[in-house]
Structure 1
Amino acid sequence: MTATDSGVPEKDSLRAGVARRWARWRLPRETDPLFVYGTLRFPEVLIELIGRAPEFESAELSGRRVAALPERVYPGLVAANGVANGFLLSGLTAREWQVLDAFEDEEYELRPVSVHAGDRHVYAWTYMWTGPVVAQDWSPQRFAVEELTRYLGKCTAWRKDLVLVSGTV
């Protein structure tokens, strides 16, 4: 999907993204957790997209970093020396997985990972970025102050378009 300057997929590419993503042969099971590190770490964003904030648990993913992306307000998870901080979301329904998968840009790949949550190693899914990045790490604090309000509006509009396109969500 192409993205607007706000970082939210454009309406014209939404249909193709929904068809491609929902045609995926397998999405994670409802019992599988999702490691989130960027905009999905904000309960407000999840509420706009899926109507609720699932259970959150702090987690870390070694060998990765949360990179800023060129001309986008959201980040990408890429291989690097270091640790990516984020959260495990659990209890997502099949429909919620579909919505989140449709929301993610085409340059993300859903991949299994092993994260540290407290003193446990947990297998989870995450969205890895496959496109270009910038040298700086993405800042959730900066995003919250400078972009979150506008981003929530874009998420609301995207969700309404998804309902119109899919007719089922």
Structure 2
Amino acid sequence: MTHTITSPAPVPETSGRRNRLSQDPDVLFCYGTLQFDAVLKALLGRIPERAPACAPGYRAAALEGRVYPGLVVNRFGGAASGVVLTDLSSEEWRILDAFEDERYDLREVLLSNGTSGWAYIWPGGDVRAEDWDATVFEARHLAAYAARCARLAPGLAAGEPKDK
């Protein structure tokens, strides 16, 4: 599938949770907590196929009051690093979409290798100046976060809304 994507565009303030998967996404670019095996295993029961990737023109920003990041346009250049998940089933897409914060907007982004992938992009607000630090997340929050994901997973798989 060939896509033409030029550059990061501003994200509207409102996102359409119920419409996010209507775009028929295929490859998911993960720049935050979904890069961790423990989180994927807790949510999906397996670790999907993946490959390293970068999204030029974006950064994984630390968010106020949250341990997970938001992908935002990087006005100073650079690229957000992460992985692409390449073999998600439609059921796994549904689970991950239900898991993601409702404020995220699912958008297609250009990756540094010239292909595209879909990413959950933060619409703005609550963004801190510093980038999210995966090493700090892993050391301080991963165990509790993965445990919370494991508690949520059965409900998400059954189509229940995520608790707030």
Matched, 1:59 2:53: yes
Matched, 1:145 2:134: no
How far did 1:123 drift? 1.4
2:103 corresponds in structure 1 to 107
* Residues 22 and 51 of structure 1: CA distance in aligned 2, closer, same or farther (over 3 Å): farther
Structure-2 separation of matches of 1:26 and 1:165: 17
- What letter matches 1:125 in structure 2? W
* Cα contact 2:72–2:124 (8 A) shared by 1: no
How far did 1:21 drift? 3.8
* Secondary structure in 1 matching 2:138: helix
* Residues 88 and 163 of structure 1: CA distance in aligned 2, closer, same or farther (over 3 Å): closer
| Mapping for residues 30-69 of structure 1, pairs under 5 Å | 32-69=26-63
Structure-2 separation of matches of 1:43 and 1:51: 10
Q: TM-score, normalised on structure 2? A: 0.80
* Residues 33 and 25 of structure 1: CA distance in aligned 2, closer, same or farther (over 3 Å): closer
| Mapping for residues 1-169 of structure 1, pairs under 5 Å | 21=17, 24=20, 26-29=22-25, 32-80=26-74, 81-116=77-112, 120-132=113-125, 133-163=127-157, 166=160
* Cα contact 2:21–2:94 (8 A) shared by 1: no
Instruction: Supply the RMSD in Å over aligned alpha carbons.
Output: 1.9
How far did 1:160 drift? 2.8
* Secondary structure in 1 matching 2:116: strand
How far did 1:36 drift? 0.3
Gaps of 5+ in 2: 1-15
How far did 1:24 drift? 5.0
* Residues 34 and 24 of structure 1: CA distance in aligned 2, closer, same or farther (over 3 Å): closer
Structure-2 separation of matches of 1:136 and 1:75: 10
Structure-2 separation of matches of 1:35 and 1:165: 23
Q: TM-score, normalised on structure 1? A: 0.78
* Cα contact 1:28–1:125 (8 A) shared by 2: no
* Percent of pairs with identical residues: 43
* Residues 136 and 50 of structure 1: CA distance in aligned 2, closer, same or farther (over 3 Å): same
* Cα contact 1:28–1:97 (8 A) shared by 2: no
1:14 corresponds in structure 2 to none
* Secondary structure in 2 matching 1:135: strand
Structure-2 separation of matches of 1:86 and 1:53: 15
